[in-house]
Chain A
């Protein structure tokens, strides 16, 4: 009970931070939007032909990958903000108070999820403006939000854990960098079938791919099939391991 109310208090602290510095969300959204525009207008013609269709169809293919790019990009910002916060005296204050200890981290995770979702919403609006035409039902959309929430939750805990590995803000900002590659080394931008054997195996067995496949199916109004379960298992696994290590690192 204490953990819930204290986490809610810490979430309020984060929301106030976001409210006071709203430009951070624009920063989170800008890289994926640039990627979206680049891939649609520069590579879109060729890519569209590559998936056996055209530029307009490629927008639909690309958008789920861009959503995941937004999540992993925001993870970097989260790691920076958590690492910066850990250097502040107020964390020492929290640690000497009789509060639910993990609530500091929970507050960060929930706050970062709010930020990430606002960024995803912005990116999606841009995609809609440049021709993204999803055929998802209301239920499909709920599924999309659910899958995004699961994966964001997992990646955010991962970035919090990475931020806790080092006390150094610069290092903390670099550690989640490889995550940016996940949508590229998966089915985010091109079908995995077009990749060489070794890379293709990796692309088909890494966590971002089932998430992207699930989003792609739901947004097209198709059933997600087994990729949904895969996405859920990956997200739960990453979240659990990251949560436990973040908590251990915080308490050390």
Chain B
């Protein structure tokens, strides 16, 4: 796969506060890359630099084969940004917003009109096309926002918290839209999000940012393997069984009131089979048994730290 974004040694400080302290990134074309991190870790700053909004202090950035420092307009022509706070003009209608983009991109009258119609259709906004965006629901605004980004057929889209504040249904719609962008249009996606489930569902690769540095990078599965946290939880049917089993099954923690024990899962199915055999041999009744694999929450909480000072909100 061709590399679409490559970043080496990216640094940025606001005064004495070092926001980004040497970031290296590589994003292959046509993939979803997700940058995760606690508030103030430097996610927004990274997006702002890569999308040409602010300048880096140091580092080399190549986007779509162009040096960002030398040819920002070439980079701008290849990217689209869908921001945290939907970047639409609330006073204009959905259609006018899209026309505005078409005009700014010099698509020409006929082509612009056709593109606007296609996008209204594709993002399910045809019925609301002539209503001012101020009357749109949160999900509709995000869809319009993304449709505006798509007018210029960008090859890299920055999605900065694309589903923040959306209800579960709208969130799922956005996820499907993002998948289609990658699969149908071959767009490369740079995603930041607070919802780890979202990164897990969408991202091919994830990087964890903590205090201005990348602390881990890999596929969601690779990251989950980096942290302990897989375990089996057994709830016993009666206090007697609980008492007899608690000391013998290798539990790391137990709860007398709930009659549960937690057993670290080191060997996957083998651990489970041994446990079940032991319970069977000793004729102990189990009310409930569940297996927990580490999720990105575990990864996030283990690998990242709260920043000591807040990132300036600009």
The answer to whether the Cβ of B148 comes within 8 Å of any Cβ in the partner chain is yes
Contact A89 B91, beta carbon cutoff 8 Å = no
Q: Which residues of A contact B152 (CB under 8 A)?
A: 97
Known contacts A9-B100, A16-B91, A98-B73: A93-B106 contact under CB 8 Å? no
- Interface size for B (C-beta < 8 A) is 30
Q: Which residues of A contact B103 (CB under 8 A)?
A: 9, 12
Complex CA gap A21/B89 in Å reads 14
Closest beta carbon of chain A to B36's beta carbon, Å: 22
Closest beta carbon of chain B to A43's beta carbon, Å: 40
Contact B76 A16, beta carbon cutoff 8 Å = no
Q: Across the interface, name the chain A residue whose C-beta is closest to B100.
A: A13
User: Which residues of A, 87-111, contact B by the 8 Å Cβ criterion?
Assistant: 88-90, 92-99
Known contacts A20-B132, A93-B148: A88-B89 contact under CB 8 Å? yes
Contact B96 A95, beta carbon cutoff 8 Å = no
The answer to whether the Cβ of B52 comes within 8 Å of any Cβ in the partner chain is yes
The answer to whether the Cβ of A6 comes within 8 Å of any Cβ in the partner chain is yes
User: Which residues of B, 46-92, contact A by the 8 Å Cβ criterion?
Assistant: 51-53, 73-74, 76-77, 79-81, 83-92
Q: Which residues of A contact B85 (CB under 8 A)?
A: 89
Known contacts A16-B91, A16-B92, A97-B152: A92-B76 contact under CB 8 Å? no
Q: Which residues of A contact B132 (CB under 8 A)?
A: 20
Closest beta carbon of chain B to A152's beta carbon, Å: 23
The answer to whether the Cβ of B104 comes within 8 Å of any Cβ in the partner chain is yes
Q: Which residues of B contact A92 (CB under 8 A)?
A: 53, 81, 83, 87
Closest beta carbon of chain A to B163's beta carbon, Å: 16
Complex CA gap A9/B87 in Å reads 17
Q: Which residues of A contact B90 (CB under 8 A)?
A: 88
Does more than half of chain A's interface fall in helix, strand or loop, or is it mixed?
helix
Q: Across the interface, name the chain A residue whose C-beta is closest to B78.
A: A98
Closest beta carbon of chain B to A190's beta carbon, Å: 41
The answer to whether the Cβ of A17 comes within 8 Å of any Cβ in the partner chain is yes
Contact A20 B91, beta carbon cutoff 8 Å = yes
The answer to whether the Cβ of A5 comes within 8 Å of any Cβ in the partner chain is yes
User: Which residues of B, 146-166, contact A by the 8 Å Cβ criterion?
Assistant: 148-149, 152
Closest beta carbon of chain A to B146's beta carbon, Å: 12
Q: Across the interface, name the chain A residue whose C-beta is closest to B132.
A: A20
Q: Which residues of A contact B88 (CB under 8 A)?
A: 89-90
Q: Across the interface, name the chain B residue whose C-beta is closest to A21.
A: B91
Known contacts A88-B87, A89-B87: A99-B104 contact under CB 8 Å? yes
Q: Which residues of B contact A88 (CB under 8 A)?
A: 87, 89-90
Measured CB to CB, the residues of A under 8 A from B are: 5-6, 9, 12-13, 16-17, 20-21, 88-90, 92-99
29 contacts between A and B (CB under 8 A): A9-B100, A9-B103, A9-B104, A12-B103, A13-B89, A13-B92, A13-B100, A16-B92, A17-B92, A20-B132, A21-B91, A88-B87, A88-B89, A89-B85, A89-B88, A93-B83, A93-B87, A93-B148, A93-B149, A95-B53, A96-B51, A96-B53, A96-B79, A97-B76, A97-B152, A98-B73, A98-B74, A98-B76, A99-B104
User: Known contacts A13-B89, A98-B74; can you find 12 more A-B pairs with CB under 8 A?
Assistant: A13-B100, A16-B96, A17-B91, A20-B91, A20-B132, A90-B88, A92-B81, A92-B87, A93-B81, A93-B83, A97-B104, A97-B152
Measured CB to CB, the residues of B under 8 A from A are: 51-53, 73-74, 76-77, 79-81, 83-92, 96, 100, 103-106, 132, 148-149, 152
